[in-house]
Structure 1
Amino acid sequence: MFVRTVYATGDPAKIDTAVRALNTEGRDLLEDRPGYRGSGVFVDRDLGKLLAVSWWETEEGRRNSDEVMRERRAGLLEPFAGTVSVHNYEVAVFHPVQQPRAGGGLRVSRLEFDPADTDLLADTFRATVVPRLDPLRGLARASLFVDRERGSGMVCSLFVDRDSLAASRAIQAAARHEGAAKAHVAVVGLEEFEVVHADVHPY
């Protein structure tokens, strides 16, 4: 599968306007596109950050959908967004455990690596990191997104509630340290978000 992420920052007081637009008109636009497999919206209401993720069966489906969404994106995010960045990734690892829930938590680790080490990263995440995360209370899903050309990626760990997210920090920190060393990656960002919704149907 393939994903597109939209990362927006702006006035925290206006973030719910963007959330409502993405969950109604935005989702309707996505669902009409061939190859659509789901989406998620995640927020940091305190700082004014919003992360939207859409999932696609093929790279072509994702690319074609962006032609429509590019024209509508600014309108959906107004008046909240002051900055918007869009990135495309391949889903290298998708490990579902249970259905995520609204009000749950998402932890994002942003990665940089030598593009030649992309497969090493995927293998390490699958063999080393996932087994460390799997027993964590409340884990809903763990995913690894990669951009093979740019050497960048994201690890996304979803938990069904915020208490489970908080309780996992030390164990995931140890797994992140071990995995980064084995896969020769640099962790360049670490963020946490509230789950507004997170639906994906890979098959």
Structure 2
Amino acid sequence: MYARIITSQTQPGKTDEATRIWNESVVPILRQQKGFVGAYMVGDRASGKGVVMTLWESEDDARAIDTSGVYQRSIALFAQVLAGPPTREQYEVLVKV
């Protein structure tokens, strides 16, 4: 299993809007992707910092959202609420409890 970690910063007061966009627009897209296992979105309302972790069956499945354009289209949905471009990393899940 592989995890993709995306860290972002919302503009002041935009955390609820970012959460709405995630739930209404991004989650349905992710559920349609091959190998999608699940996701978590966590954040700090006071600072606006947020972290999304998506889980994928394989490394190829995790990387496919880049080559298919899904990542780029999803990030574009947040253009009006993010304070800057998000960062992303990918890891192999070594232990699952």
TM superposition score category, shorter chain reference: 0.7 to 0.9
Matched, 1:190 2:70: no
2 CA distance for matches of 1:160 and 1:122? 25
Contiguous gaps of at least 5 residues in structure 2: none
Matched, 1:129 2:26: yes
Choose between structure 1 and 2 for higher RCO, CA contacts under 8 A separated by at least 6 residues: 2
2 CA distance for matches of 1:188 and 1:166? 17
Moved more, 122-131 or 164-173: 164-173
Q: Displacement, 1:154?
A: 0.8
Q: Give me the TM-score of the superposition, normalised by structure 2.
A: 0.85
Q: Which residue of 1 aligns with 2:76?
A: 177
Whichever residue aligns with residue 10 of structure 2, its letter is F
The structure whose residues are more often strand, as a share, is 1
1 CA distance for matches of 2:28 and 2:5? 18
Q: Which residue of 2 aligns with 1:119?
A: 16
- Count residues with an aligned counterpart: 94
Percentage of pairs with the same residue: 23
Q: Displacement, 1:198?
A: 3.2
Q: Which residue of 1 aligns with 2:59?
A: 162
- Counterparts of 1:101-112 in structure 2 under 5 Å? 104-112=1-9
Query: Is residue 133–residue 172 contact of structure 1 (8 Å, CA) maintained in 2?
Result: no
- Root-mean-square deviation over aligned CA pairs: 1.5
Whichever residue aligns with residue 156 of structure 1, its letter is M
Contiguous gaps of at least 5 residues in structure 1: 1-103
Q: Displacement, 1:144?
A: 1.0
Whichever residue aligns with residue 63 of structure 2, its letter is A
Following superposition, which runs of at least 4 residues in structure 1 exceed 6 angstroms of deviation?
A: none
Q: Displacement, 1:142?
A: 1.5
Q: Which residue of 2 aligns with 1:148?
A: 45
